[in-house]
Amino acid sequence: MKSVHWAIVGTGEIAGEFVQALQSMPDEATRYVIVSRNRERAEAFAREHGFARGESDLGRVLEDDALDAVYVATPHPAHFGIAKQCLEAGKAVLCEKPVTLNAKQARELVDTAREHRTLFMEAMKTPFQPAIRRMLEIVQSGIIGPVRHLEANFCFHGGNDPSSRWLNPELGGGALLDVGIYPLSLAYVLLGKPLHLHHHAHLGSTGVDERNALLLTYGNGASASLTSGVRGGDDMSIRVACADGQIELLDLVRWDPQKLRWRRYHEDWQEESHPTAAHPLTYEAREVHRCLAEGKAESETVPLVQTLTVMEQMDAIRQAWGLVYPNE
């Protein structure tokens, strides 16, 4: 497999984390170009992290035949325009979650990707993590029966700065879009599309949801209780109750579980260690590499129908809250 030449659009924290992922696979990934509206910032970031060059003109970068894939690491509102430009240029796109602010934009990106037969994937790390994959393996084996209830929480205190990406509506702030998407996506993987979706949120002084709670119910009688928050408390946990047993994910630092324990009811717990790779974003990059090598325009692990379904759910929830972003 040839080394995949990557461009990263953005120079923020998540861009730096993706650089670490690429650095952990030097034979598979070439750190090619950094793109930022500020050319000096792009060049400085490129020098610091070992990229060939920094640029401010995305259009010029996309004309480069050597470029294989683009990682979109900008604030949420910029995802749509950048991803669309890259897909129209025929470049594979790995776009940070959420891929857009709403489902309408997401559908347009999916249509563009399919029209140009170009790989498009949401950067959703959860289904690639070894502990999550092991959890799904246990569930799918049937040894503890079908899932009856999922409890998943992603809450942390991101501070009180109203201009931060977590609280600023101009940046697509709020718990649901930033971290609530993880529990919602996990619920989709385990249980599919819900029959009913109940919700409650605390909207802060900036107008975005600082905390929220969701209850999803399904036609087979299963349910999911999900919370997310960016202000006022820490709770990162995943528990799955099945008909004949249960699973708990352990050591969820930033929702990167390192262990799990499971049991059949009335039997002893079995604890297993499933540490992540050198960097958890490595799995997303490797999935892009695999799809490109196999000529695929979509990942089976993060299918576009999942991305669209979760975006549609978040749209419905935000509409009920009256939360509309200025950039929509």
Q: What digits encode the pLDDT tens for the residues 115-148?
A: 999 999 999 999 999 999 999 999 999 999 999 9
> For residue 194, what pLDDT is reported?
97
User: What digits encode the pLDDT tens for the residues 3-19?
Assistant: 999 999 999 999 999 99
97 included as an active-site residue: yes
Which residue's entry shows tokens 């289904």?
Answer: 127
- Of residues 3, 73, 87, 76, the one with CA closest to residue 42: 73
What pLDDT band is residue 254 in, cutting at 50, 70 and 90?
confident
> For residue 169, what pLDDT is reported?
97
> For residue 60, what pLDDT is reported?
97
Structure tokens at 31: 């750190």
- pLDDT, average across residues 232-251: 95
Determine the Cα–Cα distance for residues 161 and 11; give it in Å rounded to an integer.
20
Mean pLDDT of the chain: 97
- pLDDT, average across residues 255-275: 97
Contact (Cβ atoms closer than 8 angstroms) between residue 99 and residue 122: yes
Q: Is the pLDDT of residue 277 over 80?
A: no
Domain architecture of the chain: domains with CATH: 4-123 (3.40.50.720), 130-275 (3.30.360.10)
What angle in degrees, to the nearest 10, is found between the helix axes of 103-115 and 79-88?
Answer: 10
What's the pTM? 0.96
> For residue 125, what pLDDT is reported?
92
What pLDDT band is residue 234 in, cutting at 50, 70 and 90?
confident
- pLDDT, average across residues 18-46: 97
- pLDDT, average across residues 235-254: 95
Q: Is the pLDDT of residue 114 over 90?
A: yes
Determine the Cα–Cα distance for residues 246 and 149; give it in Å rounded to an integer.
10
Q: Is the pLDDT of residue 303 over 90?
A: yes
User: What digits encode the pLDDT tens for the residues 187-224?
Assistant: 999 999 999 999 999 999 999 999 999 999 999 999 99
Q: Is the pLDDT of residue 164 over 90?
A: yes
> For residue 278, what pLDDT is reported?
76
> For residue 256, what pLDDT is reported?
93
Measured CA distances, 109 to 1, 51, 125, 161, 303 (Å): 28, 28, 20, 32, 13
> For residue 309, what pLDDT is reported?
98
> For residue 100, what pLDDT is reported?
98
- pLDDT, average across residues 146-151: 98
- Of residues 216, 193, 199, 205, the one with CA closest to residue 319: 199
> For residue 269, what pLDDT is reported?
98
What pLDDT band is residue 80 in, cutting at 50, 70 and 90?
very high
Q: Is the pLDDT of residue 291 over 90?
A: yes
Annotated catalytic residue, options 2, 97, 193, 296:
97
> For residue 295, what pLDDT is reported?
96
Cβ neighbours for 77, distance < 8 A, ≥ 6 positions apart: 101, 170, 171, 172, 325, 327
Determine the Cα–Cα distance for residues 260 and 135; give it in Å rounded to an integer.
8
Contact (Cβ atoms closer than 8 angstroms) between residue 117 and residue 276: no
Exposed (0-12), middle (13-18) or buried (19+): which is 203, by Cβ within 10 Å? middle
> For residue 327, what pLDDT is reported?
86
Query: For the chain, what percent of residues have pLDDT higher than 70?
Result: 100
